[in-house]
Every structure is written in structure tokens, then in C-alpha cells.
Amino acid sequence: MNSSFNKLLTFKTLISASMIIVFSINLLLIDRVDALSDTKQLVLDAWTMVNEGFYDPEKFEKIQWKRIRQKTLQKQIETTEEAYSAIEDMLRPLEDPYTRILRPKDYELLKSSNFGSEINGVGLQLGEDDDKKVKVISTLGGSPAEEAGIVSGDFIVKVDGIPSKELGLANTASKLRGTSGTKVLVEISSESGEIREFDLERRSVDLRPVRTKRLREDSHTIGYLRITQFSESVPQKVEEALQELKEKEVEGLILDLRNNSGGLVSSGIAVADSLLSEEPVVETKNRNGIKDAIISQKETSFDGPMVTLVNKGTASASEILAGSLQDNERSILMGEKTYGKGLIQSLKSLGEDSGIAITVASYLTPKGNNIQGQGIIPNKFLDLPDASKYGSADDKWVRNAELFLESLLEKEKLSLQTSELSNEGVKP
């Protein structure tokens, strides 16, 4: 009995000692967290935001995410720039180019492009292909890049002599931006492998996200609506444009989403809401695997026949809009297969001036089609050269859309006339 009592006493003593040790370690950890420098706190804040929001938490186990935090905080991080570099290194194993640190200049620029009407740079919207090569999604209209002849599908090889593979997507984009009047040397590779070099002068590019006009034909009036990106102001501007076109009594609408690389997903969904009536717009899949279908309101701003133009520069929020119109048979799509960016980012402030973009969800079209890496296949392919200016008289894509809409309107007219004749033939 004494032996059992002694064993129990020894066990209790060990447990008490263990609790004291654990408690002491916890106190040390708390002290260490409290003692973190501002620069290391920046790193820890970034890790926490990603840990709480990243859409694919299974990836954390594969890359030992908590160990990455521990190893990163053990580094000597004394300056803000060292903190930014440490965060970049920390995020790299996630292999998601869209989850990234935004230094003050890039953070301010991204906010201004989402909420403002001008941007300083060369006018390139960039992404990554499967081989991690930096690829041109689209060029902004009237930008130095567009005037130089850089097109969707080109690859950025070097910026000011530094290989883009070494820079990565975020830093490549950052080096292309800058003060108006300054120059940047860009080496480009076409999809066929042809290498070209451009000395581009950065300048302020007027985004003008919504452009519209009326196209007169022999017997029909058609509206043309071009959306170049989805910033905060776009839904209201689209409402105003559609109202203006309705006052001009347009019978059909050409929606031009070519080289629209996206922007605010909420803006793309709001525009879809203006064109659909109580129909699904998009499904989102978050880290819990939940799919939430977003349904449009009953009222629409335009309910006439439509054609939507898309190309390989149509990406992200514009793919949400195009996919919703196609799946609900609201509009046929004409052009090329779209880019295939089906991930949604959340933008968060990090410190006073910087930010972090985190991929928080993926999206599917109303019929459940995954856009990420796949793109959207148009109903009708157009194997035609791009116009020098979208919507101009020499734009053959718009001309094809016009002819298609005219045929639809003629069929509707003939059907209405046939119906009226049938009604006249019915005697009471």
C-alpha cells in the first residue's frame, strides 16, 4: 500500500512539475510576443490574416505553415523593408501569386485603381501561367503598352534587365509602375517566342471604365457598352449608360468585355444584377467548402437581346459577368476563350501604409463550371484581328455582333408580324 501511495505521490509531483514548466513556458511566450518589435509584429499580423482567411487551409499542413511563422520570426528583421521581404518569403510556399504583400506604393495604386479613374504606369494587367511565367492578361486602352503593340498573351521576360522569374508577379508589376515621365525598359516574348524590347514612358492613364454609344443601322438601333474594368463607380455608371441608351430607344445591346481584366468582384456582380431578373449570378466556394449562390434582383435596367464580346484578356470579375449571362441564356458570348482567373481576393490594411491581398474564395458559374485555369468558351468564336480602337468603325468584332443582333431583331419582328396575322384570322 505504501508502495502504491509513493507511486501516486511521485505521479502527482511530476504532473505538478510539468504544469509549472508549461505555465512558465507560456509566460515566456507571452513575454516574447509582447516584446516583438514593430517590424516583427508586422510579419506576425500578415501571417495571422492569411491563416484566418486563405481559401485552402489544407495547404497549411503540406507546407508546415506554423513552422514557417516560427522560423520567420526567428530571423533578424529590423527594417520595414526587411519585414516586407520576410512576408514575401513566408507566402511563397503557398504558390498563390494573388496572395501577396503590397508595399505602400503598390497598396495606394491598387486602391486608386479600384476607386479612382486614373493610374500611373505603362498600362499592363498581369497574371501568371502554369509555369510561373509573368503573362500579360490585357493592356489598358490608350496606355503606353497598348501603343507599343504589347498584347494579351505576351510574356514579360525582363524589367530593367531583371528577369521576371526572379522578381515574381507582384514585384514585376511594381517595377512597371512609377512616376509619370520616367521610363522603364521591358523585354517581351510573344506566344510564338519572338523577343522584343520596349523603352516605355510611364504616364497617367485615364481608365474611363465605362464607355457607350449608339450604333445606327438600316432598320435597327443598337447600343454599344464597353466596360474596361470593374472599379467601385462602375455599377452606377453602367446604370446611367443603360438609361441613356434606353432613352435613345436602342433595341439591342453589345456588351464589350474585351481586355477587361477584372477589378472589384462586387462591381461585376452588381452589373450582372442590372441585366438579369431573379437568376443566379455566381457561386462562391470558401475555405469551408460552402457554395453560396448569389441571386439577382427582379428589376433589370435592360431586358432586350444582347451579345457579349470576350477575349483572352477577359478575366476575373468580367468572367463572372460573362459566365452569368451565358449560363442564364441572357446573352451569347462571341470572341475567344477567356483568361481563366476564378479566385477572389480580399484586400486588407497592414500597418499604416501597406496592405495584403489574400485569396479567400473561388467562384463558379451558375451551372457550376470552374473558371480557374479553364476560362469560358464563347458560343461563337471570332477568328478576326483586333481593332486598333475598340468600338471604332474598323472594329470587325463589333460589326459581327451587330449583324447577329440584327438577325435576332428581324426574327423577333417576323415572329410578331406572324402572330398579329394569326390573331386577325381568328373570328369571334
The range of the structural domain enclosing residue 141 comes to 118-206
Q: Which of 45, 96, 273, 327 is catalytic?
A: 327
pLDDT at residue 267 greater than cutoff 70: yes
In a domain, 106, yes or no: no
- Assigned domain for 122 exists: yes
Residue 279 within any structural domain of the chain: yes
| pLDDT score, position 128 | 78
Instruction: Indicate if 342 and 401 belong to the same structural domain.
Output: yes
Same domain, 258 and 297: yes
Listed residue (303, 314, 244) closest to 274, CA to CA: 303
By the 8 A CB rule, do 385 and 395 touch?
A: no
Query: Is residue 56 located within the same domain as residue 125?
Result: no
**What is the DSSP code string of 329-383?**
TSSEEEES------EEEEEEEETTTEEEEEEEEEEE-TT--B-TTT----SEE--
State whether 55 and 135 are in the same domain: no
For the chain, the domain total comes to: 4
Q: Are residues 138 and 281 in the same domain?
A: no
Percent of the chain with pLDDT strictly greater than 90 = 56
The more confidently predicted of residues 261 and 27 is: 261
For residue 369, the number of C-alpha atoms closer than 13 Å in the C-beta half-sphere is: 20
284 and 198 both lie in a single domain: no
The DSSP annotation for 288-339 comes to T--EEEEE--S--S--S-EEEEE-TT--THHHHHHHHHHHTTSSEEEES---
Mean pLDDT of the chain: 85
Residue tagged active-site, from 341, 354, 362, 395: 341
Confirm whether 273 is a catalytic residue. Answer: no
> Do 30 and 41 belong to one domain?
no
Domain boundary among 151, 184, 206: 206
Q: What residue has cell string 512558465?
A: 24
In a domain, 422, yes or no: no
- Which three cell numbers, joined as nine digits, stand for 78? 529590423
Both 249 and 389 in one domain: the answer is: yes
In this structure, are 15 and 65 located in the same domain?
no
Supply the CATH number for residue 342's domain.
Answer: 3.90.226.10
Active site residue 337: no
- Reply yes or no on whether 291 is catalytic: no
Residue 109, in any domain of the structure: no
Residues 287 and 405 in one domain: yes
Domain assignment present for 421: no
**Which cell is 251 given?**
433595341
pLDDT category at 351 given cuts 50, 70, 90 is confident
Which pLDDT score is estimated for 352?
74
Distance (Å, rounded) from C-alpha 332 to C-alpha 46? 43
* Domain identity same for 2 and 41: no
The answer to whether position 173 is within a domain reads yes
From the list 164, 261, 316, 362, the catalytic residue is 316
Q: Over the stretch 21-64, which tens digit does the pLDDT of each residue have?
A: 333 333 333 334 446 789 999 999 999 999 999 999 999 999 99
Are 57 and 2 members of one domain? no
- Of the candidates 26, 278, 232, 286, the one whose C-alpha atom is nearest the C-alpha of residue 116 is 232
What CATH number has the domain bearing residue 140? Answer: 2.30.42.10
- Kindly indicate the confidence band of residue 6, based on its pLDDT and cuts at 50, 70 and 90: very low
For residue 107, is it within any domain? no
